[in-house]
Amino acid sequence: EAGVAQSPRYKIIEKRQSVAFWCNPISGHATLYWYQQILGQGPKLLIQFQNNGVVDDSQLPKDRFSAERLKGVDSTLKIQPAKLEDSAVYLCASSSRGGSTGELFFGEGSRLTVL
């Protein structure tokens, strides 16, 4: 079974530029999560999708971050315009069951450096 795929693995941009990250979850997984992991910290949940609907985006900085999950499969996370403090690893995870009963499977992450 293929795992959670993310791209690009690495991205370097200058502040005020835009960037997009892509995630392909495990086939059949209805729930998809995006996390931001700043160096030395644990992952912070940005947004949770159930199929193509948003369940929780309370910690997503909506003035600059946006995310979508078209057709309930792949998802993209966009940052526009980027700030220095957005430098982090962006992790995507998926689960067959939402809420607390499903194991999360994480991708390897997309490392963003904002100069």
Partner 1 sequence: GEDVEQSLFLSVREGDSSVINCTYTDSSSTYLYWYKQEPGAGLQLLTYIFSNMDMKQDQRLTVLLNKKDKHLSLRIADTQTGDSAIYFCAEEEFYFGSGTKLNVKP
Residues near partner 1, by CB under 8 A: 4, 33, 40-45, 48, 56, 91, 93, 95, 99-101, 103-109
Rounded least distance, CB 104 to partner 1, Å: 6
Task: Give me the least distance between CB of 100 and partner 1, in Å please.
Answer: 4
Choice between 82 and 93, CB closer to partner 1: 93
Q: Give how far Cα 67 sits from Cα of 4, 23, 35, 47, 88, Å.
A: 17, 11, 12, 8, 17
- Minimum distance from CB of 2 to partner 1 (Å)? 14
CB 87 within 8 A of CB 114: yes
CB nearer to partner 1: pick between 5 and 13: 5
For residues 28 and 42, which CB has a smaller minimum distance to partner 1 in the complex? Answer: 42
**Measured from the CB of residue 49, what is the shortest distance to partner 1 in angstroms?**
12
Sequence-separated (6 or more) residues with CB below 8 Å from residue 52? 69, 70, 71, 72
Nearer to partner 1 by C-beta: 33 or 65?
33
Neighbours of 112 (CB within 10 A): 20
Q: How long is the chain?
A: 115
Pairing mode, strands 88-95 and 105-106: antiparallel
